[in-house]
Structure 1
Amino acid sequence: MQETVKNKTVMRSMLLLDLFEQHAELTFQEVITLSEMPKSSVYRMLQSLEELGFLEKGEDLKYRLGTIFLKYGHLVASRLDIRHISYPIMEKLHEETKEVINLTVRSGDEAIYIEKIDRYQTIRLYTEIGKKSPLYAGACPRALLAFLPVNEQTTYLERTPLVQIASGTLTTIAALKQIMAKEREQGFTVSHSELEDNTAAVAAPIYNYQGEVIAGISAAGIAANYDAAYITNLSEKTIEAAAKISAKLGYRP
Structure 2
Amino acid sequence: MQNKNITVVKSMDVLNLFLHHSELTLNEMVELLGVPKTSVHRMVGSLETMGFLQKNNEGKYLLGLQFLQFGQLVADRLDIRQLALPIMKELRDKAKEAVNLIIKDGNDAIYIEKLDTPHPVRLYTKVGRRAPLYAGACSRIILAFLKKEEQEHYLQETELTAIGTGTITDKDRMRQVLADARKFGYTISYSELENDTVSIAAPIFDHTGCLAAGLSIAGPDSRFGTDRLPELIDSIKNAAKEISFRLGYREGN
Shorter-chain TM range is 0.5 to 0.7
The number of residue pairs the alignment matches comes to 175
Amino acid corresponding to residue 139 of structure 1 in structure 2: A
How far has the Cα of 1:126 moved from its partner?
Answer: 4.3
Bigger Rg over Cα: 2
> Which runs of no fewer than 5 residues in structure 1 stay unpaired?
1-78
What TM-score, normalized to structure 1? 0.67
Q: What residue is the counterpart of 2:154 in the other structure?
A: 156
How far has the Cα of 1:179 moved from its partner?
Answer: 1.1
Contact persistence 2:123–2:220 (CA under 8 A): no
The DSSP-based 3-state class of the residue aligned with 2:228 is helix
| Cα separation, 2, equivalents of 1:104 and 1:218 | 8
> Which runs of no fewer than 5 residues in structure 2 stay unpaired?
1-76
Contact persistence 2:122–2:219 (CA under 8 A): no
Q: What residue is the counterpart of 1:165 in the other structure?
A: 163
The DSSP-based 3-state class of the residue aligned with 1:211 is coil
Amino acid corresponding to residue 160 of structure 2 in structure 1: L
Amino acid corresponding to residue 92 of structure 1 in structure 2: E
Q: Given the alignment of the two structures, is residue 87 of structure 1 paired with residue 95 of structure 2, yes or no?
A: no
Amino acid corresponding to residue 174 of structure 2 in structure 1: L
How far has the Cα of 1:125 moved from its partner?
Answer: 1.7
What TM-score, normalized to structure 2? 0.67
- Summarize the alignment of residues 1-253 of structure 1 with structure 2, pairs less than 5 Å apart: 81-253=79-251
How far has the Cα of 1:124 moved from its partner?
Answer: 4.0
Contact persistence 2:100–2:215 (CA under 8 A): yes
The DSSP-based 3-state class of the residue aligned with 1:229 is coil
| Cα separation, 2, equivalents of 1:109 and 1:86 | 23
How far has the Cα of 1:119 moved from its partner?
Answer: 4.1
Q: Specify whether residues 246 and 161 from structure 1 end up closer, same or farther in structure 2 by C-alpha distance, changes over 3 A only.
A: same
| Cα separation, 2, equivalents of 1:126 and 1:119 | 11
How far has the Cα of 1:137 moved from its partner?
Answer: 0.5
Amino acid corresponding to residue 182 of structure 1 in structure 2: D
1:132-160 CA-to-partner distances (Å, cap 9, x unmatched) read 00001001111111122222210111111
When the two chains are superposed, the root-mean-square deviation of aligned CA atoms in Å is 1.4
The DSSP-based 3-state class of the residue aligned with 2:100 is strand
Identity %: 45
1:64-116 CA-to-partner distances (Å, cap 9, x unmatched) read xxxxxxxxxxxxxxx88100000000000000000000000010000000111
